[in-house]
Structure 1
Amino acid sequence: MRVVAGNYGGRPLKTLAGKTTRPTTDKVKGAIFNMIGPFFEGGRVLDLYAGSGSLSIEAVSRGMDFAVQVEKDRSAQMVINENIKMTKETDKFQLMKMPAERVLSVLTGQFDLVLLDPPYAKEQIQKNLLEMQERNLLTEEVVVVCETDKMVELPSQIGRLNLTKQKTYGISKISIYKF
């Protein structure tokens, strides 16, 4: 796995061995950013189930100013830290070592890009996005990227967020929401 494009383009990324995380393939990662960008002029990204941190590192590589990465698994946290060091811009990343459910109550500021790839997709995505809206954590221009198994059916609307794009890549489905 590697960073696909931007400032860190081509640099290798570490992944977690085993089945506790499902790393997004380079092909799917490239497709996601082609759907939403592919480049940014600043902003904050929230990677709520960070895994290896690959998606938020890609977002910063492509122009986001800062990424908050949330991961509760200790092994994954070590991989994220190594991947952050690879960027040589560690000040652009904050790793929060706690469950996603807990982090939403302590986060401050607003996010322009939200990346969601939770283990139990449908229930978690709806719950997380409703709470983010209640807590005013999303900018009016926010783009929310949800990565799920292709069999998961997400609603066309979650609170004020509307499903704007959806594509299937192999076993993964990418759903994009905006206000």
Structure 2
Amino acid sequence: MRIIAGEYGGRRLSAVLGNQTRPTTDKVKEALFSMIGPFFDGGQVLDLFAGTGGLGIEAVSRGCDRAVLVDKQRQAIQVITDNIAVTKATERFRLLKIPAQSALTLLAAEQQQFDYVFLDPPYRFKIIHQLLTKLAELSLLADAARVIVETEREDDIELPSGFELIKQHDYGITKISVYQYSKG
């Protein structure tokens, strides 16, 4: 695994040992960023089930200002910490070791808003609709924010009000969906 492009491009990232996380492969990561960028002129990023931190780190490497990376697993937190250190720009990242729902509540209390949100929860949870609803209800999304969701290919997501599917592609058993949020 590596940072593919941008300021930190080519640097190696560590993976979490075992099967507790499912890192996004370099091939899927490259396709995903081609769908939403591939480069950015600023913006705030939330990687809610960060795993290795690879998606949030890639977004900052490609021009986003800062990223908040969230995971609750001890092993993942250590790997994310190591991967952030690879950038030599730790001040551009914030790491939260708490469950996703708690992170949303905390970030809302801080009145944070995000331009890009990565949602890649364990496939078995089937909580994308719930997370999208919560992101909107807590005013965590900037107008025209992009929410990038990784699910199993056969999963269909019922979209809450304000979200529109703008791109979607299958990569083997994985489906990447990009939604745009409008405060309307």
| Structure 1 partner of 2:115 | 112
Inter-CA distance 4–23: structure 2 relative to 1 (3 Å threshold):
same
Alignment of 1:7-156 (within 5 A): 7-107=7-107, 108=110, 109-120=112-123, 123-155=126-158
What's the CA shift string for 1:119-155, capped at 9, x where partnerless?
1467321111111111111001200000111121223
Deviates more, 1:158-167 or 1:32-41: 158-167
Task: Write the distance in 2 (CA, Å) between the matches of 1:149 and 1:18.
Answer: 20
Gaps of 5+ in 1: none
* Counterparts in 2 of 1:134 and 1:159: CA distance versus 1, 3 Å: same
Q: Tell me the distance in 1 between the aligned counterparts of 2:124 and 2:154.
A: 10
**Structure 2: unaligned runs, 5 residues or longer:** none
| Number of aligned residue pairs | 178
After TM superposition, where is structure 1 displaced by more than 6 Å over at least 4 residues in a row? none
- 8 Å CA contact retained: 2:66, 2:93: yes
Q: 8 Å contact 2:123–2:152 — kept in the other structure?
A: no
CA RMSD, 1 decimal: 1.1
- Which is further off, 126-135 or 45-54? 126-135
Alignment partners' CA distance in 1, 2:9 and 2:139: 33
- Normalising by structure 1, we get a TM-score of 0.96
Aligned sequence identity (%): 52
Match of 2:173 among 165, 171, 174: 171
Secondary structure class of the residue paired with 2:145: strand
The alpha carbon displacement at 1:159 in A equals: 2.4
Shift in Å, 1:89: 0.1
The residue identity in structure 2 corresponding to 1:138 is: L
